[in-house]
A and B are shown apart, each in its own frame.
Chain A
Amino acid sequence: MQARGIVKRFGSLTANDYIDLSLFPGEIHALLGENGAGKSTFVKMLYGSLRPDEGMLSWKGAEVSIKNPAMARQLGIGMVFQHFSLFEALTVEENILLALPPLQAKNLRQRIKTVSADYGLPLDPTATIADLSVGERQRVEIVRCLLQEPDLIIMDEPTSVLTPQEADELFLVLEKLASEHKSILYISHRLDEVKRLCQRATILRHGKLISECDPRQENAKTLAAMMVGSEVADVRRVPQDLHGVKKCLVVRALNLEPELNTGTALVDVSFDVARGEILCIAGIAGNGQAELFGALSGETPVSDVGSIVFEGWPCGADGISERRRRGAAFVPEERNGHGALAGLKLSKNILLSWNNPNDGTTKKGVIDRMALARLEGAITEAFDVRMAHPDVEAGALSGGNLQKFVMGREVKRKPKLLVVSQPTWGVDAGAASLIRQKLVDLSRSGTTIIVISQDLDEIFEIADQVAVISEGHMSDVYPIDEVTREQVGLLMGGMDLNGPPEVTAAEMAQSLMRDRETEDAV
């Protein structure tokens, strides 16, 4: 596949500005860039879901115009999306059947088994999607893609939902595919993966092609600098001794049923956090993090008052306003429509968390606009929120700037306890580094911080202690310098650190498969 001078504009924004890229058979080619750099826009044009405004694509030497994804698949271009498109209530086989042209439906079950055996992607065609782990679901997507025998496979941030062990298995599959002369376009912002896996990398920044390089010749710092356009500051963190420090928050046997039946129940969650500590709670998305945030923030109060004790005050059944009044602050994972409202000006967005009568933002129920303007100025300055004019609507800010604003709003409350979910999710590297540094600084000034995150880099950068949530269960809490990434990865996959260490997720899955096959045989 060759792309020359590809341009795509959305209104005044040029998402892709004369991008060139060539992919050769048998190569794993990385497409690197921050959020908003134009990676997704570019691959959507290769896959036919968007049309370029200018430029030319050629496929196997001939110029092509890819009109839609079906045509892309016919040509032999497959794509595995970051967000899966699977029907939960259907089986693996049925999901795959739905995506295939009718003629290819013959002997499907056999072909699924062949493909999954060939590539070491254990799959049970009769299993229902709802029962599968995220890693297994991704296998379904990959197998579905491979069944169409593509020559080019586009993978959009495939490891963002995987444990490190699952990611390792995926890399083996990709290497095998490359050895069969298939091209792989691998989109990621994880530099160590790219260094390890890819022979070439194309780096985009703000829609422009910055460089094409061999990632194996670069180091993580030079790659990051190319992505961001400047050196990203390392987070400075002085380890602290937490022995004998008074506890700020004690959680004991916290149980919570999910509100939606797609949610995850919290089961007997217990942990302590010392004053001034940063506790990071790792875990793959969808393992109860949303419920844990709801219970800790008071958005979903729990019936057992004593299951959450904040500075000696049992508060399980109290709502979020009461917890704020006592000195807690919260940053949810989702910025738009949860932590902030896009249609409101920033000064009004402050009122989302500053609405207690003693917050100084209201006088006898009347909004004090001067006070809000002062706060807005102070927050945007302290957190370097960049905007076109003062007090813009929140929707006009980029993801990184809006997240800085939301973080700044809560930090400005000088909380005793700050609970943050995915603080740098979808945020550019510069903003992420600023946010992490602010979190570390805040903890060193005495604030207790709980960070719910699925980003291991982030966790190892800022945490004093780490725990892992998996299927609503919480692991023990470990000091960060006493665990390795691999161990945290095992915990994220639901393993026990005390159990037999040599069992990997793949072996587990394979043994499960064998069990199922024996059952079938019986």
Chain B
Amino acid sequence: MPFKLQRREEHSAWMTLFSPLIAVALMLATGAALFASLGIDPVRGLTVYFLEPLQSAWSLQELVVKATPLILIGIGLSICYRANIWNIGAEGQFVAGALAGSYIPIMMVGWEGPLVFPAMIAAGMAGGALFALIPAALKVRFGANEILTSLLLVYVAQFFLDWLVRGPWRDPEGFNFPESRLFDSDAITPLIFEGGRMHIGFPVAVIIALLAAFYLTRTIHGFQIQVIGESPRAARFAGFSQNKMIFFAFAVSGALAGLAGIMEVAGPIGQLRPTISPGYGFTAIIVAFLGRLNPIGIVIAGFVLALSYLGGEAAQVTLGISDKIARVFQGLLLFYVLACDTFIVYTFRRVGAVREAS
């Protein structure tokens, strides 16, 4: 039976809402098939992966801790992607922010007091933003493709971090392990309650999400993003500058990735190590799309993807399969959400039977 895709007259509000849910359902179905093919009972596999992490207070806290950087980075990326600017390098901006913010507790050891942490946050955001401005400048000045430049800069940041913790920033009392010194108590991201794992990053992320939602839908500058993203020609007609927007979007998303980075190393990690992120900057791309590039949606999507990390660990421990399974689920989800999104703008039509005239 021949089918064809046909453009809808207006965007479907129904599909905008349900496309991510359908995508999650398809991911679960594929996951079940995957478990079955590995000889694992699919029901048990999905239970271990997606439900057990939600059943203890400890892992619920861990969920929030992992969702926080994903949400922060995802919001910044959504601003870029709405403007049709493809920042793929949030992972590098995360590292750059962590490095810039860590300069204070590592190199300015004597400084103590309530200003240390705010200074680290400011340095982290500035570091992430400046690092993100490199691909922005290359795009505006030379027309270099920002997908390539921002992605390649990820490796620059990661190797720079690696060199620092093995070289100049290595803890002198750390038995030669490639780690920085542990941050002092003034340089630690404040916890929400004592003895827990959740830090102030999560409420901060929620506030930023609300601000971003207001900014994108209600302000004229947020409107510019939409116009530039949909048609540079219409943006020119409206008098909106595309180059300014490239700088702005990269700076904002870099600053948010940097913020996530410094709060992560000053929080759950507490020092610099060769690896400080399980790929948050890349996973946040999925978060941004699953959340409809909508800041509120991104908060929800952040939890879904955080769960995929926890589920991967649970699957490794309980089912004895590699935690790389998390990447498989994340990839499936991105694939399905992009496919389902097609139906926001298009609909299936059966091609009418043609009466053959012979």
Which residues in A have some Cβ–Cβ distance to B below 8 Å? 9-11, 51-57, 63-65, 297, 299, 319-321, 324, 330, 332, 334, 337-341, 343-344, 348, 351-353, 355, 361-362, 365-367, 369, 392-393, 395-396
Contact = CB atoms under 8 A, between A and B. Distances in A.
Interface stretch (B181-189, B232-240, B305-313): B232-240
B231 interface: yes
A355 B220 contact: yes
Contacts of A362: 219-220
B219 A396 contact: no
A352 B227 contact: yes
A324 B239 contact: yes
A352 B218 contact: no
Nearest to A339: B237
Most-contacted residue by chain B among A11, A297, A352 (CB, 10 A): A352
A353 B349 CA distance: 37
Contacts of B220: 351, 355, 361-362, 365-367
Contacts of B349: 11
Given A63-B358, A341-B231, A320 B6 contact: no
B219 A365 contact: yes
Contacts of A332: 237
A320 B234 CA distance: 12
B221 interface: yes
A320 B10 CA distance: 30
B237 A320 contact: yes
A348 B223 CA distance: 9
Given A338-B234, A340-B234, A396-B10, A65 B358 contact: yes
A392 B10 contact: yes
Contacts of B219: 362, 365-367
Nearest to A9: B352
B10 A337 contact: no
A366 B355 CA distance: 57
Most-contacted residue by chain A among B221, B238, B358 (CB, 10 A): B238
B236 A299 contact: yes
Contacts of B194: none
B234 A337 contact: yes
B356 interface: yes
A384 B235 CA distance: 27
Contacts of A54: 355
Interface of B: 6, 9-11, 218-221, 223, 226-227, 230-231, 233-234, 236-240, 349, 352, 354-358
Contacts of A320: 236-239
B237 to A, nearest CB: 6
B226 A344 contact: yes
A370 to B, nearest CB: 12
Nearest to A51: B354
A393 B358 contact: no
Nearest to B355: A54
A489 B234 CA distance: 33
A127 to B, nearest CB: 33
Contact of A11 (B6, B230, B234): B6
A365 B216 CA distance: 12
A319 B235 CA distance: 12
Nearest to B352: A53
Contacts of B352: 9, 53
Contact of B239 (A334, A355, A361, A369): A355
A339 B234 CA distance: 6
Contact of B227 (A53, A341, A369): A341
B237 A367 contact: no
A161 B355 CA distance: 37
Given A341-B230, A367-B218, A393-B11, A352 B237 contact: yes
A365 B223 contact: no
A396 B236 contact: no
A338 B10 contact: no
A337 B239 contact: no
B239 A319 contact: yes
A330 B237 contact: yes
A343 B10 CA distance: 7
A352 B352 CA distance: 40
A291 to B, nearest CB: 14
20 contacts: A65-B357, A65-B358, A299-B236, A320-B236, A332-B237, A338-B233, A338-B234, A339-B234, A339-B237, A348-B223, A351-B223, A351-B238, A352-B227, A352-B234, A353-B237, A365-B220, A367-B223, A392-B10, A393-B9, A393-B10
Contacts of B223: 348, 351, 355, 367
B237 A395 contact: no
A159 B221 CA distance: 45
Contact of B233 (A52, A337, A367): A337
A53 B354 contact: yes
Nearest to A65: B357
Contacts of A393: 9-11
Contacts of A9: 352
* Shortest beta-carbon contacts, A-B, top 9: A321-B239, A337-B231, A352-B238, A393-B10, A396-B9, A320-B239, A65-B357, A338-B233, A362-B220
Contacts of A338: 231, 233-234, 237
Contacts of A57: 357
Given A65-B358, A362-B220, A365-B220, A353 B238 contact: yes
Given A63-B358, A319-B239, A367-B223, 11 more contacts: A11-B6, A54-B355, A65-B358, A297-B237, A320-B238, A340-B234, A341-B230, A365-B221, A366-B218, A393-B11, A395-B10
B235 to A, nearest CB: 9
Nearest to B233: A338
A64 B227 CA distance: 49
B9 A395 contact: yes
A392 B239 CA distance: 24
Given A324-B239, A352-B238, A63 B357 contact: yes
Nearest to A345: B10
A53 to B, nearest CB: 5
A52 B354 contact: yes
Contacts of A337: 230-231, 233-234
Contacts of B239: 319-321, 324, 355
Contacts of A395: 9-10
